[in-house]
Structure 1
Amino acid sequence: MPVEFFCAPEEYYLKKQYDLSKTHSEVVAAMPHLRIGKALDLGCGHGRNSLYLHLQGFDVTGYDRNGESIAYLQQLIADEQLSGIRASQQDLTELQIQGAFDFILSTVVLMFLPPATVPGLIAQMQQHTLPGGVNLIVSAMDTEDFPCTVGFPFTFKANELLNYYAGWDIIKYNENVGELHKRDEQGNYIKLRFATLLARKPQE
């Protein structure tokens, strides 16, 4: 019996023994708020979110600057003979988004970009989202109670991400504490606040 009968979509490619981490929990949580259509995954890595969205019926485009990650995802797409999903190597600091999308997401990616490039990338995300479409962003913060000590080039301040989406329908926004996969000198996982935003573009 096929493996898809035994697992949730977010676990499908994990069960098939591909080198993928689990779909980001905020992508899974966003599904009830999305209309199936075209999705753009900015910073797709090996494809954990792109492949999940494809299983849900989206036509998916994934971009990442890491050539090895893109090659891995492209090989997986070929091995599985998937259509309606494509991946290409793109530097997000120089990206010019083409087309319009129902869902644009970027999870734990923006903190690796030069600060000067973030406003323009968010503006492109917004411009290339169809009316009624949705953006999802999850990215690290630097706050007084949880200062960022790991050297990310960019971190959000309190309410900074929310302010970018003034005029959009805010489905979810929080600045909850999360753990990095990195440990501090005492061996504890480093904790930071993460800005998490799910917002819908107004209908024209």
Structure 2
Amino acid sequence: MANLVGTALMNLLYRSPFNPKSTDNPDDALVDLVEGPDALPRRRALDLGCGHGRHSIYLARQGWDVTGIDIVGHAVATARAKAAEAGVSPRLIAGDVTELTQLGVTGGHSLIVDAGCFHGLPSRIRQRYVTAVTGAASPGATLLMLGLARHPVIKGVTADELRQRFRGWELVRAVSVAGDEMLRYGDGSPLLRRAFEKGWFDPWRYQLRRA
């Protein structure tokens, strides 16, 4: 099961002023994948680190079969309430994203969304995440990841690390995300807002494809 110390740390970070308060707006890149000119077929999606459910709810509204997972229990409870209010029923689970099999999450997911989960994992369990995600992904699946390259507390994530860790995946795209775009997805303390405006955290969006 999830390490108790790690779970406690994630709960503290979730309430930290350095953690953006999520809005209900889906990321632009996800909207493009789902509604754009080259939209993906509506199949099964996995939302890792789903938080308050903005992406799980959005995908469910678009007709996807969605499972959202977050280790922070009160965030999942909020996501469930928001989903009910929106009239959709994504499967929302409080649990460890590195233990998908134990949570009953099997393969066949053609879209996997990670908007700030992997970049907060300690190094010692990152390969477990890769193994779990690869097992849950269908051939040709898309992994859309948003992560910070710099942060005062968490490790962050870079394109070089993804290339090294995600064997059997292709890094299709790595794009720097401007601060004004990040601020549309979440807000927080004045210090955090200034950090995003100045680009201090160096946010990036990565798109990977499973071979």
The TM-score normalised by the length of structure 1 is 0.72
Aligned to 1:110: 118
Report the 3-state secondary structure (helix = DSSP H, G, I; strand = E; otherwise coil) of the residue aligned with 1:69.
helix
Please tell me whether the aligned partners of residues 30 and 198 of structure 1 are also in contact (alpha carbons under 8 angstroms): no
Helix, strand or coil for the counterpart of 1:103? strand
Contact 2:148 2:156 in 1 (8 A): yes
Residue matched to 1:44: 50
Contact 1:38 1:59 in 2 (8 A): yes
Q: How big is the shift at 1:183?
A: 4.9
Q: Give the unaligned 5+ runs of structure 2.
A: 1-21
CA RMSD in angstroms, aligned pairs only: 2.7
Question: What is the CA distance between 1:93 and its match in structure 2?
Answer: 5.1
Aligned position for 2:162: 161
Secondary structure in structure 2 of the residue aligned to 1:189: helix
SS at match of 1:60: strand
Note the alpha carbon deviations across 1:133-180, whole angstroms, 9 max, x for none. 1111111113xxxxx3x212x222452223334553443223456467
1: CA distance between counterparts of 2:204 and 2:130? 14
2:94 corresponds to which residue? 89
State the match for 2:148 in structure 1: 140
For residues 59-111 of structure 1, give each alpha carbon's deviation from its aligned partner in whole angstroms, at most 9, with x where no partner exists: 0000112222211221233344424x111111335554621111111111223
The match for 1:193 is: 202
**Between the two proteins, what is the percent identity of the paired residues?**
26
Q: Which has the larger radius of gyration?
A: 1
Among 27, 30, 33, the alignment partner of 2:33 is 30
- Check 1:67–1:193 CA distance in 2 against 1; reply closer, same or farther (3 A cut): same
Shift of 1:195: 3.6
Higher mean displacement: 49-58 or 156-165: 156-165
Asked if structure 2 preserves the Cα contact closer than 8 Å seen for 1:162 and 1:197, the reply is no
Partners of 1:35 and 1:102 in 2: how far apart? 9
Amino acid at match of 2:67: T
Partner residue of 1:174?
175
What runs of 5+ residues in structure 1 fail to find an aligned partner?
A: 1-18, 143-147
Question: 1:12 maps to what in 2?
Answer: none
User: Match for residue 6 of structure 1?
Assistant: none
Match of 1:8 in 2: none
Amino acid at match of 1:151: V
Q: State the alpha-carbon separation in 1 of the partners of residues 39 and 124 from structure 2.
A: 31
Give the number of the structure with larger relative contact order, counting CA–CA contacts within 8 Å between residues 6 or more apart.
Answer: 2
The one-letter amino acid of 1:171's match is V
Residue 153 of structure 2 aligns with which residue?
151
- Residue 129 of structure 2 aligns with an amino acid whose one-letter code is L
Measure, in 1, the Cα distance between the counterparts of 2:52 and 2:42.
Answer: 22
Whole-Å separation in 1 of the counterparts to 2:156 and 2:83: 33
SS at match of 1:124: helix
> Normalised by the size of structure 2, how large is the TM-score?
0.70
